[in-house]
Amino acid sequence: MAGVFLVMASAVRALDHSDADREFLGKIAKIATAEIVTSKVSDTVNISPVSTLLVFLSSMLDDDL
């Protein structure tokens, strides 16, 4: 599952601010947040890619926060 979040983080990072669909990115942020909250494994292998995705999402959604 960590690989999926790494791919998503790379895709979000590559987006131009004008191309970003804020509603869709918000949904991705909710999924990533839910993954961290519900994760029963607290090792960095699983949490690090999700947190990377959230950092990139926050940079894209900074106007909406």
Is residue 15 included in any domain, yes or no? Answer: yes
Examine the pLDDT at 50 and tell me if it is beyond 80: yes
Range of 20's domain? 2-60
State pLDDT tens for residues 5-46. 889 999 988 888 888 888 999 899 999 988 888 877 666 677
Give the total number of structural domains in the chain: 1
Is residue 49 included in any domain, yes or no? Answer: yes
Is residue 11 included in any domain, yes or no? Answer: yes
Structural tokens at position 52: 């990377």
Q: How far is 32 from 20, CA to CA, in rounded Å?
A: 17
Does residue 63 sit in helix, strand or coil? coil
Helix and strand numbers, DSSP H then E, in the chain:
3, 0
**Averaged pLDDT, 37-59:** 81
State pLDDT tens for residues 35-45. 888 877 666 67
Is residue 14 included in any domain, yes or no? Answer: yes
The pLDDT value given to residue 42: 65
Q: Higher model confidence: residue 25 or residue 65? A: 25
Is residue 7 included in any domain, yes or no? Answer: yes
Is residue 65 included in any domain, yes or no? Answer: no
